[in-house]
């Protein structure tokens, strides 16, 4: 019953947010087209429940290249173009993931899905337990490290520093939460994430955030 309620909640909220956010979809699409050659959307391969993979939708925030470079993007990464930095700082780049929610690839709350190369190379037996759950847009671990990401990431070695300083601890937080999660706790987490993103957006608009 809990899973059914969560799925109904995901669909209703995703539809509502897509409608409310339509102006931001237009802003992102047009802004990317004007400021950076290439497609407006980016399709990121991610690992879902059961180890299956799916394409996670994002607005493109990095210059089109040959796909080289680390899979973890550090603040100030020179692959990010100017308007893309704004999209990332305000999380507008992640709005297309609402369509992933509608499809059932992800939920609003669940362990944040990782790149297949990260899972293959660095997940141990306990970390793989997070793949028993549907991944999400946000999670306790994601929110915690969203607030402190730059402090843990070495811009010169973003992937290794992410694995060493964030990955295992984030997944432990998410796994413990997933074992006891319910719709009420999910709604509280979504609200906390929304408040954080709103404050971040205001800070960006007031010029308090550098390019990310």
* Residue 152 confidence (pLDDT): 74
Q: 82-90 and 22-35 helices cross at what angle (nearest 10)?
A: 160
Q: What is the pTM of this model?
A: 0.87
| Domain residue ranges of the chain, discontinuous segments joined by + | 2-205
Virtual torsion, Cα 63, 67, 70, 71, nearest 10 deg: 90
Nearest residue to 119 via CA among 67, 42, 53 = 53
Query: What pLDDT does 21 receive?
Result: 95
* DSSP letters for 51-94: G-EEEEEEE--B---SS-S-SSPPTT-TTB-HHHHHHHHHTGGG
State residue 132 phi and psi, 5-degree precision: -80, -10
In tens digits, the chain (212 residues) has pLDDT values of 778 899 999 999 999 999 999 999 999 999 999 999 999 999 999 999 999 999 999 999 998 875 566 778 766 678 889 899 889 888 899 999 999 999 999 999 999 999 999 999 999 999 999 999 999 999 999 998 887 776 777 767 788 888 898 999 999 999 999 999 999 999 999 999 999 888 877 776 676 545 44
According to the model, what pLDDT value does residue 68 have? 63
- Using the Cα atoms of residue 9, residue 11, residue 14 and residue 17 in order, give the sign of their dihedral: negative
pLDDT at 74: 66
CB 32 within 8 A of CB 60: yes
Whole-number Å distance between alpha carbons of 155 and 130:
27
* Rounded-to-integer distance, Cα 135 and Cα 137, Å: 7
Which pLDDT belongs to residue 197?
Answer: 85
Give residues with Cβ within 8 angstroms of 49, minimum separation 6.
Answer: 131, 132, 133, 134, 135
Given its phi and psi angles, is residue 210 left (phi above 0), alpha (psi -120 to 50 degrees) or beta? beta
């Amino acid at each position: 019953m809990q899973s059914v309620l969560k799925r109904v909640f995901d669909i209703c909220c995703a539809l509502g947010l897509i409608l409310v956010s339509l102006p931001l979809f237009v802003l992102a699409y047009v802004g990317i087209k004007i400021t950076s050659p290439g497609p407006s959307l980016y399709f990121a391969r991610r690992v879902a429940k059961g180890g299956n993979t799916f394409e996670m939708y994002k607005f493109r925030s990095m210059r089109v290249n040959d796909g080289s470079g680390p899979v973890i993007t550090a603040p100030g990464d020179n692959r990010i173009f100017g308007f893309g930095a704004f999209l990332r700082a305000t999380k507008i780049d992640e709005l297309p993931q609402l369509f992933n929610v509608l499809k059932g690839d992800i939920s609003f709350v669940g362990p944040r899905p990782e790149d297949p190369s990260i899972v293959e190379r660095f997940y141990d037996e306990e970390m793989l337990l997070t793949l028993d759950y549907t991944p999400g847009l946000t999670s306790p671990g994601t929110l915690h490290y969203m607030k402190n990401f730059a402090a843990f990431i070495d811009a010169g070695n973003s992937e290794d520093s992410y694995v060493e300083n964030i990955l295992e601890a984030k997944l432990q937080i998410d796994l413990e939460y997933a074992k006891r999660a319910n719709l009420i706790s999910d709604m509280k987490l979504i609200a906390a994430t929304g408040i954080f993103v709103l404050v971040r957006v205001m800070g960006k608009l007031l010029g308090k955030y550098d390019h990310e």
